[in-house]
Amino acid sequence: MSPNRQTPETLSFESAFAELQQVVEQLEAGGVDLERAVHLFDRGIALAQTCERLVGDAELRVTRLTAETASPLSDA
């Protein structure tokens, strides 16, 4: 990993997803040696997990906000 590359855990969803797309494109294009392919695959897994975590966190926040702002009279 290059020194200026962030760890997946510190990236925003948009940054992690954009990098994940680049990783997938590189792997699909082929022409990389085995060591590089394994490194890309490992990075892709970490990025995908970060994206999944961030989406899950956002869904939880929306669910909580919806529950907090629901009017008790709305079900009447």
Q: Which amino acid is at 39?
A: H
- For residue 17, the model assigns a pLDDT of 97
Query: Considering only CA atoms, which of 58, 19, 65 is closest in space to residue 40?
Result: 19
CATH topology of domain 8-68: Helix Hairpins (1.10.287)
- For residue 68, the model assigns a pLDDT of 83
**Unique residue bearing structure tokens 């990098």:** 19
Sequence spans of domains, the chain: 8-68
pTM reported for the whole predicted model: 0.78
Eight-state DSSP code of residue 11: S
pLDDT tens per residue across span 14-64 = 999 999 999 999 999 999 999 999 999 999 999 999 999 999 999 999 999
